[in-house]
Structures are given as structure tokens and as C-alpha cells.
């Protein structure tokens, strides 16, 4: 195996699987790590090497792409029992893609640097479809030499790599802003479509009109079809925005900066999670309006 072409990917969810497959198509040797047998079986079917061990994903790899949910999982797969940091070689590069507070990203890079392991702060956006096509947007920051080293990996993963600074931290800071907007837009889109249904309007007609009008957003266009189809299969779950808007609000608290719109949206996701919808698609935030406002949502077709 050529270690120059060896990549470990930890987290084979909707985004991580797409990243891993894109790297395989680009000619890298890829070891994919996940705790779910079905994800490992799928990955093996695409020609990758599956493992349940983060340490194995890091062994012999020059690059490690971490596509997990949060800071706790990032910490665990790197430095916990069977963590990858113990097997990564000096000079290897970690691309940390989870949405985390910028302070955590900085601390993680400093900890890895003590082992002569480099890191790019590399949160991703674009959804499962763009991940599978290698067309993600990466909000990245880190030393220029590390970017140069990881260029081929980033090119395989992403359509756009935003280089946001020469140190770790700005990448996660910009992702915080992105998640503020994304979370608010989904919650606002759900509220608008719920009101339309309460007014007796055809939600499909309203969706088509809004998508051709100034009130639309990428999240409205992308997520409200899930509601129209009655299909809440999670591509990004409600609980993701409980976490991500929590990061947004904690950032505002640290800066003594008011974020009333983000706080209101966060309450809607908390309500959805508390009602039992936390693991459903984030568009399931609309079910809060169903439960409180007496609307009837479209149901999934049995065909």
C-alpha cells in the first residue's frame, strides 16, 4: 500500500459515506470506520476496507477524514480508547469535518501537533447528494503547507474549498454562522408551510410558488419536499440542529451578543426533539406545528 494514497474516513453516515466513495473514485485506498454493520457492508461493496476501529482507520494512512456528529465524538475517535491519534504517523494530516466550537478545533489541533500530526479545520456543507458526487463545500482553515499536502484529498471531496485563514479555528467559526442560517431557514420554512396548510392552501402549490419567488431559500427548496412526501428519513436529523444551534447560542453567550432569532429556532428543534422526533429528518420540526396547530401533514405514499 502506498501511504501517500491511503486515507482513513471515520464516520460513514450520509455525508461520510459520500466522502469515502468520492475518495475511492479518485484512486485513493480508503479504510472506512463506523459502528454500524450495514454501513460497513455498503462501504465494502464500493471497494473500500471496512473497520470498526478508529485506530485501524488511522494506521498506514497519510490522511484521516473525520465525519462524525460533534466534538465529543471527534475527541473519542482521536484520543479515546482505540483512538486514531495513537496510530497516525508523524506528518499525517487530520481533516476535522464535524461542526464543533472553534475553541475545540483549536485545542484539538494543538493536541495533535504535540504528536507531529497536522490538522485542517474543515467543516463541510452540501448534503448527502453533493457528498456522494464529491461536490461539497468545505469551510477550511489551517497552515498553507498543510493545505498543499492535502490538496488532492480536498479536491476529491469538494467542489469548493473556502480557505478562511492560516490557522485552525476560522473554519469552525464560519460553519457556526452557516448553521445559524441553515437552522433558522428550515424552521422558518416549516412555519411558513404549516401556516399555508392551516389557511387551507395546497402545500404543493405553495411550495412551487415560493420556490419561484423572493421568499425562497436553499433550505426551503431542499427540505420542504420531505414534508410534501411525508418522508422524514433522516439525512440531517432534528437533533443535529439542537446541537448546532446550541453551539451558535453558546458562541453568542461567550461574546455577550444577542441572537433572538436563532434562540427561537432552537426552541422549535428542542420541542420537536422532546416530542420524540429528534432522530427524524430536520424537516420534522414542522410536526411541532401539527401538534400545536391542528394541521394535517401529507403522509408517505405506500407505492
Active site residues: 175
Distance from C-alpha of 73 to C-alpha of 68, rounded to nearest angstrom: 6
* Cα radius of gyration rounded to whole Å, the chain: 20
Task: Please give the C-alpha separations between residue 298 and each of 30, 208, 226, 238, 286, in angstroms, as whole numbers.
Answer: 41, 16, 10, 19, 11
Enter the C-alpha cell of residue 32: 472506512
- Residue 171 and residue 137 in contact, taking contact as beta carbons nearer than 8 Å: no
The beta strand positions in the chain, using DSSP E, are 6-10, 29-33, 49-51, 63-66, 93-96, 118-121, 124-125, 136-140, 158-163
Those residues whose C-beta lies under 8 Å from the C-beta of residue 16, and which sit 6 or more positions away, are 9, 10, 32, 34, 65, 67, 68, 131
Q: What's CA 276's distance to the chain center, in Å?
A: 21
Q: Give the chain's length.
A: 303
Is beta strand 118-121 parallel, antiparallel or unpaired with respect to 93-96? parallel
DSSP summary character for residue 283: G
Is beta strand 29-33 parallel, antiparallel or unpaired with respect to 6-10? parallel
Amino acid at each position: 500500500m502506498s501511504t501517500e494514497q491511503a486515507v482513513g474516513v471515520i464516520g460513514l453516515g450520509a455525508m461520510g459515506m459520500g466522502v469515502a466513495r468520492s475518495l475511492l473514485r479518485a484512486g485513493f485506498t480508503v479504510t472506512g470506520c463506523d459502528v454500524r454493520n450495514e454501513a460497513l457492508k455498503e462501504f465494502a461493496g464500493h471497494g473500500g476496507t471496512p473497520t470498526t476501529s478508529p485506530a485501524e482507520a488511522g494506521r498506514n494512512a497519510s490522511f484521516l477524514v473525520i465525519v462524525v456528529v460533534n466534538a465529543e465524538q471527534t475527541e473519542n475517535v482521536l484520543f479515546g480508547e482505540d483512538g486514531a491519534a495513537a496510530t497516525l504517523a508523524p506528518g499525517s494530516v487530520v481533516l476535522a469535518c464535524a461542526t464543533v466550537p472553534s475553541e475545540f478545533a483549536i485545542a484539538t489541533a494543538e493536541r495533535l501537533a504535540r504528536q507531529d500530526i497536522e490538522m485542517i479545520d474543515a467543516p463541510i456543507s452540501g448534503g448527502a447528494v453533493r457528498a456522494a458526487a464529491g461536490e461539497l463545500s468545505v469551510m477550511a482553515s489551517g497552515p498553507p503547507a498543510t493545505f498543499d499536502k492535502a490538496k488532492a484529498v480536498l479536491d476529491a471531496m469538494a467542489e469548493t474549498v473556502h480557505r478562511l485563514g492560516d490557522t485552525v479555528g476560522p473554519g469552525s467559526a464560519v460553519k457556526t454562522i452557516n448553521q445559524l442560517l441553515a437552522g433558522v431557514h428550515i424552521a422558518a420554512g416549516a412555519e411558513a408551510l404549516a401556516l399555508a396548510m392551516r389557511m387551507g392552501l395546497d402545500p404543493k402549490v405553495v411550495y412551487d410558488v415560493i420556490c419561484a419567488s423572493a421568499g425562497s431559500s436553499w433550505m426551503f427548496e431542499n427540505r420542504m419536499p420531505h414534508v410534501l412526501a411525508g418522508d422524514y428519513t433522516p439525512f440531517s436529523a432534528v437533533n443535529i440542529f439542537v446541537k448546532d444551534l446550541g453551539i451558535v447560542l453558546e458562541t453568542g453567550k461567550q461574546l455577550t451578543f444577542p441572537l433572538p432569532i436563532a434562540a427561537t429556532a432552537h426552541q422549535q428543534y428542542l420541542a420537536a426533539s422532546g416530542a420524540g422526533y429528534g432522530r427524524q429528518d430536520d424537516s420534522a420540526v414542522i410536526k411541532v406545528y401539527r401538534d400545536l396547530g391542528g394541521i394535517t401533514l401529507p403522509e408517505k405514499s405506500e407505492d
